[in-house]
Amino acid sequence: MRYAFSKRVRHLQSSAVRDILKVVGNGDVISFAGGLPADDLFPVEAIEQAFSRAFASGTKALQYIETEGYAPLRELVVERMSRKDITGFTANDVLLTTGSQQAIDLFSRVMFSPGDIVLTEDPTYLAALQVFQSYEAEAVAVESDDEGMIEEDLEAKLRNLRPKCIYVVPTFSNPAGKVWSLERRRMLVRLAHKYNCLILEDDPYGDIQFNQNETYTPIAALDDGSRVLYTSTFSKTAVPALRTGWIVGPFQVIRMMAQAKQANDLHSNSLSQQAIYQLCTHFDFDGHIQGVTNLYRQRRDVMVDCIRQSNLPNAHFVEPKGGMFLWIELDERVNTTSMLTEAVKKGVAYVPGAPFYAGVPKTNTMRLNFTHATDEEIKKGIHLLSDVFSHTDDQVKTVI
């Protein structure tokens, strides 16, 4: 039987990331595909203790709560935000969500009418593009270099397209592993004010910073509190399964998002919110983040070394200064999408770069996650990848 789905989802197809995760979960494939944190560092015992503490408050820990989320955790988020110079907000300006994914979704739900424009980097976070598309907003790519969006192109698009919002992942981006310079961040805020546009700053990776001597000021810290919505999550620093993220920003927008969230799911898992609060207050959470960061830095180093020594054809990449991803551009003739099946057959998985583009995709790109595989797996996996792509000339001939 045929079901008459809504206009907004007729384009929906199972995403590449998702299909790959499904394949890869089943076999012996070394996966650089998923955005998975390293399981071996999950603070299982500390989290279990945090749950015990939450349970100690008895039955009220298990009742319905307000849509905005567990108030003490919202207060703690305000405090953690102020350490990043994001100030002037109270717990009322914070909405707890089911991962930062839900924050992007609810923001889009309250902001975008069909046909509205959202400006993005190119490439940008795939699942954000899917959200924008599901609300029938049009994502338009702004030209960027290694420092962020390019002012001329951004201003032209702000002037001509009158977008509702600019969506950016400015610190250790997914997928490109890039960091915006301070100048570009300032420029972004200035232009957003000039053209009366909101900024959605997506920062799930900001705490995973490899060089502690550098400072990457969040864009929200450069604003007067009226134009930037900042979202992040405990999924990468604590664990994903608790699905606890947050968004902070202008109260009017947060309030509208809370009302939309009430229709979406009434509220997120509040026992986990209480456990995360207990984790942050009774466990050296910042020390834990440092440990995670140290391991990820080491794994990045291993991956970078392996790639440099590999036969990957004309591999170009910027060494990530944090986060979880390394973005590679290969020889122009390579098509990473069509080669994926071959790679998985040989025992290694990645995410092809094409779906991350709002504009014209570069089909010779791929995203590699360096946080989930062990050093040995990284060495073996890059070797396999190199093997898959080193015969580019032959492959190109075959395709022709």
For a copy of itself, the binding residues in 65-124 under the rule CB under 8 A are 65-67, 97-99, 101-102, 105, 109-113, 116
**SS3 assignment, position 95:** strand
By the 8 A CB rule, do 218 and 84 touch?
yes
| Residue 231 found at the interface with a copy of itself (CB under 8 A) | no
Q: Compute the least distance from the CB of residue 76 to a copy of itself, in Å.
A: 18
Extended strands (E) in the chain: 30-31, 94-98, 117-120, 138-141, 144-145, 148-149, 165-168, 198-202, 228-233, 244-248, 316-317, 325-329, 348-349, 351-352, 365-369
- If one asks whether residue 259 binds a copy of itself (CB under 8 A), the answer comes out as yes
With beta carbons less than 8 A apart as the criterion, state whether 118 and 112 touch.
yes
Locate 268 and state its tokens: 């997120």
Q: Does 24 bind a copy of itself (CB under 8 A)?
A: no
The reply to whether 271 sits near a copy of itself by the rule CB under 8 A is yes
Residue 260 interacts with a copy of itself (CB under 8 A): yes or no: yes
φ, ψ for residue 322, nearest 5 deg: 175, -175
CB of 144 to a copy of itself, least distance (A): 24
How, if at all, do strands 94-98 and 30-31 pair? unpaired
User: Within positions 128 to 147, which residues make up the interface with a copy of itself, using CB under 8 A?
Assistant: 130-131, 134-135
Cα separation, 260 vs 249, in Å, equals 16
Number of residues that bind a copy of itself (CB under 8 A): 82
Q: Are 334 and 392 in contact (CB under 8 A)?
A: yes
- Residue 283 interacting with a copy of itself (CB under 8 A): no
**Secondary structure class of 240 (helix, strand, coil):** coil
Shortest CB 213 distance to a copy of itself, Å: 32
- Which residue from 239, 302, 303, 324 is in contact with a copy of itself, where contact means CB under 8 A? 239
Of 234-242, 278-286, 309-317, 355-363: span binding a copy of itself (CB under 8 A): 234-242
181, two tokens: 């310079």
Site map (CB under 8 A) of a copy of itself, residues 164-203, x = contact: x---------------------------------x-----
Nearer to a copy of itself, 99 or 381 (CB): 99
Q: Which stretch binds a copy of itself (CB under 8 A): 16-24, 88-96, 174-182, 331-339?
A: 16-24
Which amino acid makes up residue 293? T
* Min separation Cβ 383 and a copy of itself, Å: 26
Bridge partners, residue 62, by sequence: none
* Comparison of 48 and 146: residue with beta carbon closer to a copy of itself: 48
